[in-house]
């Protein structure tokens, strides 16, 4: 009976106490983030080292943002409670009069939805709604800030090099489509597609397995066996809509070697990453790496030489 009464008390407090409502919301958000990060890690494991590194960095950012926001919301709610007496103040004054246990049991059993209780509940629901809106705004502002900062850094690099950004659709095939966009300006490759690039990369990796296998691991960080290697190649070969996986460093290396062309990957921070440095006789293919352009993760765009207005 005691356990049942305690459970009922907790449930009532969770419904009426803004702090309990906030903490319950935080627990749900932590659980949702945990499920999301597990899914992100699983997806990254089927990719490559660069993708795994990017995913881990993104997970750390999401966890840090969530923890900071939770601390801020709790502090804000406590400040609000000090500024405006809460509904719990009446209960606390009654506790000071004695007979705590009997009073609590009587209160929880006999409480009814009076007009006063309805007004209190409406106020608390409005407070929760405002908190939820503020939380959503925080998330949007954080994501927007990272995107803006990253884009400004990329734009500065492109301007210095006389290049403009060519947008590629964020459909899971962006790396291959970005390379195809670059290659389509080369004589003999005018009709090339991202699907062609996927097939070319997979073919080269299969034919040069020994060069790639040391950099490919499974979910246990062990080298891929024959079945796992073929599954990986299938993910490279097929488009995202058909079960293909995102591309990264190994696939860019495969394309560079297969095409016998340098591929230059511009980043918002640091020097560009160069694949196929030995192919200096041909014009490099220049693409751009974004970490924060979209919530799903890494994205690749193409570039073009700026034209005089």
The fold for domain 153-305 equals Cathepsin B; Chain A (3.90.70)
- CA R_g for the chain: 28
Beta bridge partners of 285: 263
Which one from 90, 167, 171, 225 is the annotated catalytic residue? 171
Which one, of 214, 174, 166, lies nearest residue 197 by Cα? 174
Average pLDDT over residues 103-131: 61
Residue 142 DSSP SS3: helix
Please tell me the distance from the alpha carbon of residue 117 to that of residue 208, in angstroms, as a whole number: 73
Which one from 174, 233, 290, 292 is the annotated catalytic residue? 174
Please tell me the distance from the alpha carbon of residue 266 to that of residue 164, in angstroms, as a whole number: 12
Contacts of 22 (CB under 8 A, 6+ apart): 73, 74, 77, 128, 131
Query: Where in the sequence of the chain do the CATH 3.90.70.80 domains occur?
Result: 153-305
Q: Is 101 an annotated catalytic residue?
A: no
pLDDT in tens, 222-278: 889 999 999 999 999 999 999 999 999 999 999 999 999 999 999 998 999 999 999
Q: Is 173 an annotated catalytic residue?
A: no
Q: Is 233 an annotated catalytic residue?
A: no
* pLDDT over 90 (residue 122): no
Q: What pTM was estimated for this model as a whole?
A: 0.56
Please tell me the distance from the alpha carbon of residue 252 to that of residue 271, in angstroms, as a whole number: 17
What's the mean pLDDT when you consider all of the chain?
Answer: 80
> How is residue 301 written in tokens?
């765009």
**Whether 62 contacts 37, CB under 8 Å:** yes
Q: Confidence class of residue 182 from pLDDT cuts 50, 70 and 90?
A: very high
Average pLDDT over residues 102-124: 58
Report which of residues 101 and 249 the model is more confident about. 249
Phi, psi of 86 (to 5 degrees): -85, 170
pLDDT in tens, 34-57: 878 777 776 666 666 676 777 777
């Amino acid at each position: 009976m005691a356990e049942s009464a305690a459970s009922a008390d907790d449930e009532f407090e969770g419904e009426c106490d803004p702090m309990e409502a906030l903490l319950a919301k935080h627990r749900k958000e932590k659980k949702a983030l945990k499920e999301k990060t597990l899914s992100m890690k699983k997806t990254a494991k089927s990719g490559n080292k660069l993708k795994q590194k990017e995913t881990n960095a993104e997970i750390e950012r999401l966890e840090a943002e969530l923890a900071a926001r939770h601390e801020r919301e709790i502090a804000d709610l406590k400040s609000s409670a000090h500024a405006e007496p809460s509904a719990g103040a009446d209960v606390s004054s009654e506790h000071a009069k004695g007979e705590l246990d009997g009073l609590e049991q009587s209160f929880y059993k006999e409480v009814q939805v009076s007009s006063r209780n309805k007004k209190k509940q409406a106020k608390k629901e409005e407070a929760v709604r405002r908190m939820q809106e503020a939380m959503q705004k925080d998330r949007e502002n954080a994501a927007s800030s990272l995107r803006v900062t990253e884009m400004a850094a990329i734009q500065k690099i492109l301007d210095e090099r006389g290049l403009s950004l060519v947008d590629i659709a964020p459909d899971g095939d962006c790396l291959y489509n970005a390379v195809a966009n670059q290659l389509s300006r080369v004589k003999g490759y005018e009709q090339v597609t991202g699907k062609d690039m996927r097939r070319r990369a997979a073919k080269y990796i299969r034919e040069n397995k020994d060069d790639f296998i040391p950099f490919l691991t499974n979910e246990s960080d062990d080298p891929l066996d024959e079945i796992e290697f073929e599954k990986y190649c299938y993910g490279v070969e097929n488009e995202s809509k058909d079960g293909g996986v995102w591309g990264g460093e190994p696939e860019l290396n495969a394309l560079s070697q297969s095409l016998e062309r340098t591929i230059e990957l511009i980043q918002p921070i640091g020097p560009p990453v160069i694949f196929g440095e030995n192919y200096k006789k041909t014009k490099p293919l220049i693409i751009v790496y974004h970490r924060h352009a979209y919530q799903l993760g890494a994205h690749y765009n193409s570039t073009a030489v700026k034209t005089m207005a």
